[in-house]
Structure formats: C-alpha cells, structure tokens
Amino acid sequence: MGRATKDRGLGQPADPTQEERAKGGPGAQQQEWPGTEGEMHPKADHGEESYRGSGRLEGRRALITGGDSGIGKAVAIAFAREGADVAISYLSESDDAADTVRWIEDADRRALALSGDLIDPAHCRSVVDRAATELGGLDLLVNNLAAHWEQEGLEDVTDEQLERTFQTNILATFRVTRSALEHLERGSVIINTGSVVALRGSPTLIDYSATKGAIHVFTKSLATNLSPRGIRVNCVAPGPVWTPLIPSTKDEEEVAEFGADTAWKRPAQPAELAPAFVFFASADSRFCTGEILAVTGGSTTR
C-alpha cells in the first residue's frame, strides 16, 4: 500500500500558508551547492500528498536524470503513480534520492537510484545500461539534469564554470540520449527539460541560458531525426521553480525575491511541472513531437 494522500486533484500542489501568500517568495536562505531538500524552507511540494495517477503510463519504464529532488523528483512520483517503473540518476544527494525511491515504491512500482557524475561519458552509458537491465528495458527518458551559477557579466564566467555548465547541461544530455537510443523502440518518448531563459535570455546566467537554448534546438532536431523510428521528442521549459538549486546558487536576497517576476509573484512548486511531463510521456500527446511547452507562470509575457 502507498502512503495516504490528500485528494486535492490531479497534480495540484499543497495550498500555501497565509504567511507564504503574504511574502510571495520563499524567504532569505542559502545552502552549499548542490543543495538538499532537508535544508529548504518551506519544503518543496513534489506532489507527495496530491498527485493522483490514472494508469496513463502503465507498464512503461523510465529513466530520469537529476531525479533525486526538484522537478525530477516530482516527475518520478507522477510517473510511478501513472504506472511506470522508474530509475533515477543523481550526483551525491543520497538522502534525497532515497526519499524519491521510497515514494516510487509506495506506488508499488520498481525503483532504482544510480549515483555518480554524468559529466563522465562512461557513467552516462553505465546509467542507461543499468537502468535498462534492471527495469527490463526503457520506454521513457527524461533529461532533467542541470546546474548553474550566476555571474554579473561574461568576464566573470571562468573556463572551469563554463566547461562544467556545458558538460552537465547539454553534453550529458547528448550522451545519455545517444546511449538510450540503443534501448528505445517505436512508441518510446524522450522529454528534455529546457528553461524560460532559453526563450528570453538572462543577463546573469549567460552560460546556462546558452545550454538551455541548445537543449531546445537539440529537441527539435532530434524529433525530426527520430520521427521515422516512431520515437517522439519534446521539451518542457519551466520558469522559476523552487528546488535545492536555487538556495545553493543564489545569495539570500536573490532567494527571497525568487519568482517575484511571475504572474503569481512566486516560484512554481515542482508538483506544478510534473503534469506537463506526464502529458508528453503519455498517449495524450501522441501527435506532439519537437514541441517546447513553456510552463513559466507568465514569465515569457513580462
């Protein structure tokens, strides 16, 4: 039996408290990179108590990179409750990964957590092959892994940061996908996590924006390339989302104002992104490929 859930409707996040409504953003706080859920306040909502599945991914087998926390965790929970077995990859946040595994297993689905750094090409292949072996194949790939560090100008972006950002965000995505194609068959789906900054740019995230722009174009190019094989490729482009990446890469004042530029004056909760990934993973989107779905809280219109 899974954990009891409160029926707030499909994919609806927990209602914010009166205090959270009043202040909008999460409040000033900071962590060491890469950050953990345990130190976040308020806690992020991944749909643990709200997401209700309806069997749309029954029998499917998914690999989600960066699946230990944030959007990846919310997608893992949603996929499991829709009937999929789920493997997640993560860097080193073992407590967060273990909690994600518990939620997948509470949905009576198989779970697998694979640690390590995907900037290593050999590890990219290892993660894919282990996931396919343990789950008995792969049908769904979610490329969600990402990292960023803010800088005031281009001259402040060191070679070390530049290479780490590109290795993590786009080269790992390329390599994991390339390895996964050995296992994906007709009817399989690839979903990439893009960003609002790929649509409008960011003066303080120049390298990150460039990698997310690359992911958007990678999505469209790969969709065309794989359509004869019956494999769909789409992308979800989130706006500001409350994840451990935020307090671990921004200063306290920036965290306090995070999400204030959306129509709702707050960042999204990961649970508010998960339904978009379920849509692309399921037959509901069978006519969609090469699409960029922006879930930004109105950020692209402001």
Alpha-carbon gap, residue 271 to 57, rounded angstroms: 17
Question: Encoding tokens for residue 53?
Answer: 């599945």
DSSP SS3 for 168: helix
Active site residue 90: no
DSSP SS3 for 140: strand
Angle between helices 70-81 and 274-281 (to 10 degrees): 50
Counts for the chain of helices (H) and strands (E), in that order: 10, 7
Strands 189-193 and 140-143, bridge-based pairing: parallel
Angle between helices 172-180 and 206-226 (to 10 degrees): 20
Give the distance, in angstroms, between the CA of residue 191 and the centroid of all CA atoms in the same chain: 10
Alpha-carbon gap, residue 147 to 143, rounded angstroms: 13
Q: Which of 208, 218, 242, 258 is catalytic?
A: 208
The residues that are catalytic are: 208
